[in-house]
Amino acid sequence: MTEYRTVRVALLGAGSVGSQVARLLLANGDELAARVGAKLELVGIAVRDLDAKRDVDLPRDLLTTDAETLVVGADIVIELMGGIEPARTLILQAITAGADVVTGNKALLAAHGPELFDATEQVGAEIYYEAAVAAAIPIIRPLRDSLAGDNVKRILAIVNGSTNFILDRMDRFGDSMEDAQKTAFDLGFLEADPTLDVGGYDAAQKATILASLAFHSSVPADGVYREGIENITAAQIEAARAAGYVIKLLAIAERITAADGTEGISARVYPALVDREHPLAAVHGGNNAVFVEAEAAGPLMFYGAGAGGVQTASAVLGDLVSAARRHIAGGPGLGESTHADLPLLPIGDVITKYQITLRVSDLQGVLAAVASIFADGGVSVETVEQRIDPEQSGTAFLVIGTHAAREHALQATVARLDASDVVTTVVSVLRVEGV
């Protein structure tokens, strides 16, 4: 029988993901030891309530409420508590004690990533966080390692399964927003308070991580432009379908050049129109996908389950194996790469396309007046569709697709349309992405 040295592993949190990590680690210990070249000993599981009901029946003697003592005695700490505190403090304590850290805590990394990575560099430790962005989908290592010799140009990502499920229901089954959210809640895709998902906050945290990693720069979480899907209507879904699009909530990280020539990064989240021929259009249900455009490698897509206890546990255990191998081999950990130090540019510097739906008076000269507003704003019109408003006599809808333009010019044009006497209502404004 092979004799292995022991790597002590502490687990913080035993929720849906943490309990699955513990189960798999205990059940597959021999196999993992053979892969690592060391025995992975789960020395304890820190929980808030020893008697809480859990998805997995965990050994009682492993449970503890003394997280601080647990992390100080570990070689590797797996943090799956979520939230900012006490997770941040415990991770810093673990790093100070020389432990490597595996985490799936997107909120913590988005808010305090630079602080945590700096702490690891001080002691030669490393943070692994594959599970923080797209659960089972491997995207952190491909961006950090496989594409390290390439230049990433843009990332378009569906990284929130709840909102993708809702929009997909509306598109494929004709659900209203209210009905789609109810179904999502009933099936466990949505929390009782859906704000984090529906408001785009979860996706924005992940956009922060992706942008920082892809462009080797520190991206502040509060600088990410964010819109949620709360105001998406069945009429917008139908209009998108008629124009050959599907609406997806996208997290976008892109290297751009501002009007004044400044090179920088755009990180943004909003519902966008995606051509039905684009690979992201085929991402259904609660699945996630990350579409990467690289200079040499070209377009790449990573697709799979973006949530789920056992699925996310897969990514966590992959990181654990990597951390344990590095622990055995020795040497300093891989720090955060921020050498490019590109600034985060405002949404107004982005170049994109719009689809704008207007309700207008059905009178002669209205189309010419609308076209004049676009021309005055320096925005070129690509397509125009006009149809009679069935609910309001004497009015019509104009669905206008623009050519690519600066966001600030597009927003200014929409503002002038809204103030115009010939426009009754600006019904809908959606950006077009993936072109």
Is the distance from CB of 22 to CB of 9 less than 8 angstroms?
A: no
17 is in an annotated binding site: yes
Other Cβ atoms less than 10 A from the Cβ of 374: the count is 21
14 is in an annotated binding site: yes
428 is in an annotated binding site: no
Burial class of residue 364, CB neighbours in 10 A (0-12, 13-18, 19+): exposed
The Cα 370–Cα 299 span in angstroms is: 37
DSSP one-letter code for 411: H
Active site includes 53? no
12 is in an annotated binding site: yes
430 is in an annotated binding site: no
Is the distance from CB of 398 to CB of 358 less than 8 angstroms?
A: yes
41 is in an annotated binding site: no
420 is in an annotated binding site: no
CA distances in angstroms from 123 to 99, 133, 216, listed in the order given: 9, 26, 21
The Cα 95–Cα 122 span in angstroms is: 9
> 123: number of CA atoms within 13 Å, CB side?
17
434 is in an annotated binding site: no
Is the distance from CB of 17 to CB of 316 less than 8 angstroms?
A: yes
Is the distance from CB of 338 to CB of 217 less than 8 angstroms?
A: yes
- Residue identified by tokens 């020539």 is 261
314 is in an annotated binding site: no
Among 39, 53, 206, 248, the one annotated catalytic? 206
- Helix (H) or strand (E) holding 169, with range, is helix 161-173
224 is in an annotated binding site: no
- Helix (H) or strand (E) holding 157, with range, is strand 152-158
Annotated binding site for NADP(+): 12-19
Positions annotated as catalytic residues are 206
Annotated binding site for NADPH: 106
Binding residue ranges? 12-19, 106, 191
Binding site per annotation, positions for L-homoserine: 191
